[in-house]
């Protein structure tokens, strides 16, 4: 990593208006999950605006502390909700990261992930394709299931539960010969052209199967197809998060006696505005009692696992998750709908009395 040089901030130049609009009011301090743990101004949106402006104006070098603070953002978007000036904080942070990466400042943990995606098409460096790993051949079908790297290679219980539900509901579906959706690369600042190569490969593969609708069990992959891919490609197929798909079904579920709460993943909630569908699915379960945490829907607290923070700063990520798990301590079960949230919340629950942490898909499969 190059040390202490100013950088050419060509991506930050595109968001200069955002940087100039920040009034440094500090309202973002009241919600930022990172600031709540680090407690130091550069670790909140206001500080990241100052650092980004400094990089843009070549007033500060890209020294290790600047790199660290710009990479400690989970891209949860909660500050944008709170910001009176409606600053696109996540765009600024990701623009700064692209400039840092272009100048040779990629964090070693992130470089390892990027190298794996380039070598194998998945973020874990696994040699087998998604269909080989899931033990199914892709075929022409109405519904395609985009499993994502994590549910394929690490949390296979989630992909198995999703496939099981599609089977139980008698759908005409197929697995997809997918590669990484590009989410992690985009979050950590990899050059847009590199990321778009992944998008193009996935879109062409899905079209070749004549799929009409693609269903996702990962909130991060879903956000990419819902928000990012359409900026460059005419998809030619519908995209749905699995909770949107399930909310449209008349599910006949066995009862579940217990108090549950629902954690809104940032990628699904604040980024894609999917709040009610998961709750509608939970409401289809007889006898269940859904009680909300004080921070829910657009005010939901981040689990701490996103934006490349978990891979680069696992202790920070875990500390943020601990706080979210504590907020759910009045329940028997903490339900969410993203493998990253499930994993990070489980890390936050380690060694403490906590509710069971479950992906909604696995709960539905158990009761269907
Ligand atoms: S709330 Fe918005 S305007 Fe205020 S300091 Fe934070 S980013 Fe800047
Ligand atoms: S996106 Fe989230 S983590 Fe990043 S500055 Fe805003 S509130 Fe903090």
pLDDT tens digit sequence for 151-184: 999 999 999 999 999 999 999 999 999 999 999 9
Among 19, 33, 86, 91, the mutation site with the greatest number of ligand 2 atoms within 8 A of its Cβ is 33
Among 27, 44, 47, 77, the mutation site with the greatest number of ligand 1 atoms within 8 A of its Cβ is 27
Average pLDDT over residues 130-143: 98
Ligand 1 atom 1: the closest Cα is on which residue? 83
For 161, phi then psi, to 5°, come to -65, -40
The alpha carbon dihedral of 163, 164, 167, 168 has a sign of: negative
Q: Could you tell me the distance, in angstroms and rounded to a whole number, from the CA of residue 287 to the centre of ligand 1?
A: 44
| Nearest in space to 140 (alpha carbons), one of 109, 180, 175 | 175
Q: Could you tell me the distance, in angstroms and rounded to a whole number, from the CA of residue 32 to the centre of ligand 2?
A: 5
pLDDT tens digit sequence for 287-337: 999 999 999 999 999 999 999 999 999 999 999 999 999 999 999 999 999
- The domains found in the chain, sorted by start residue, are 10-105 (no CATH), 110-247 (3.40.50), 258-367 (3.40.50)
**pLDDT band for position 4 (50/70/90)?**
low
**pLDDT band for position 55 (50/70/90)?**
very high
Q: Tell which atom from ligand 2 comes closest to the C-alpha of 266.
A: 2
Ligand 2 atom 4: the closest Cα is on which residue? 73
**In Å, how far from its chain's centre is CA 154?**
16
| Ligand 1 cavity residues, CB under 6 Å | 22-28, 45-46, 49, 79, 82-83, 85, 87, 89
What whole-number distance in Å separates Cα of residue 337 and Cα of residue 331?
A: 17
Q: Tell which atom from ligand 1 comes closest to the C-alpha of 86.
A: 2
Q: Could you tell me the distance, in angstroms and rounded to a whole number, from the CA of residue 34 to the centre of ligand 2?
A: 7
β-sheet bridge partners, residue 289: 259
Q: Tell which atom from ligand 2 comes closest to the C-alpha of 82.
A: 7
What whole-number distance in Å separates Cα of residue 29 and Cα of residue 45?
A: 8
Q: Is residue 27 scored above 90 in pLDDT?
A: yes
């Amino acid at each position: 990593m190059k040390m202490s040089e100013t950088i050419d901030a060509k991506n930050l130049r595109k968001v200069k208006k955002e940087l100039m609009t920040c009034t440094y009011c500090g309202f973002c301090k009241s919600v930022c999950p990172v600031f709540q743990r680090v407690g130091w101004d550069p670790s909140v949106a206001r500080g990241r605006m100052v650092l980004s402006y400094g990089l843009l104006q070549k007033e500060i070098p890209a020294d290790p502390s600047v790199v660290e603070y710009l990479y400690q953002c989970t891209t949860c978007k909660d500050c944008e909700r709170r910001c009176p000036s409606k600053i696109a904080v996540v765009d600024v942070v990701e623009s700064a990261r692209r400039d840092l990466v272009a100048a040779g400042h990629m964090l070693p943990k992130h470089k390892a992930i990027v190298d794996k995606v380039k070598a194998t098409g998945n973020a874990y460096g696994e040699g087998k394709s998604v269909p080989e790993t899931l033990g199914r051949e892709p075929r022409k079908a109405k519904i395609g299931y985009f499993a994502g790297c994590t549910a394929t290679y690490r949390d296979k219980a989630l992909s198995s539960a999703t496939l099981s539900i599609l089977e139980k509901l008698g759908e005409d579906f197929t697995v997809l010969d997918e590669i990484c959706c590009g989410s992690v690369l985009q979050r950590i600042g990899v050059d847009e052209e590199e990321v778009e190569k992944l998008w193009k490969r996935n879109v062409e593969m899905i079209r070749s199967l004549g799929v009409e609708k693609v269903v996702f069990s990962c909130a991060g992959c879903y956000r990419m197809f819902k928000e990012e891919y359409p900026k460059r490609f005419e998809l030619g197929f519908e995209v749905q998060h699995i909770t949107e798909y399930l909310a449209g079904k008349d599910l006949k579920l066995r009862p579940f006696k217990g108090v549950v709460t629902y954690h809104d993943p940032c990628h699904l909630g604040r980024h894609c505005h999917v709040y009610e569908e998961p709750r509608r699915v939970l409401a289809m379960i007889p006898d269940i009692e859904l009680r909300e945490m004080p921070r829910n829907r657009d005010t939901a607290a981040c689990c701490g696992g996103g934006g490349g923070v978990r891979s680069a700063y696992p202790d920070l990520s875990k500390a943020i998750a601990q706080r979210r798990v504590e907020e759910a301590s009045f329940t028997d079960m903490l339900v969410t709908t993203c493998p990253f949230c499930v994993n990070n919340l489980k890390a936050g629950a380690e060694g403490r009395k906590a509710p069971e942490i479950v992906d909604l898909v696995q709960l539905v499969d158990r009761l269907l």
